[in-house]
Amino acid sequence: MKDDFKKLLGKRIQSVRKAKNFTQDKLAELIGVETPSISYIETGKYSPSAETLQKLSAVLNVEPWELYYFNALSEDEMKNELLSAWDRNPRLIKVFYSFFKSIEYL
Tens-place pLDDT, residues 1-10: 555 889 989 9
Q: Where are the domains of the chain?
A: 2-68, 73-106
* Mean pLDDT score, 29-50: 96
**What DSSP state is assigned to residue 53?**
H
Q: How many CB atoms lie within 10 A of CB 58?
A: 13
Give tens-digit pLDDT for 43-73.
999 999 999 999 999 999 999 888 988 776 6
Q: What is the pTM of this model?
A: 0.66
As separate numbers, helices (DSSP H) first and strands (DSSP E) second, the chain gives: 6, 0
CATH of domain 2-68: 1.10.260.40
Cα 61 versus chain centre, distance: 10
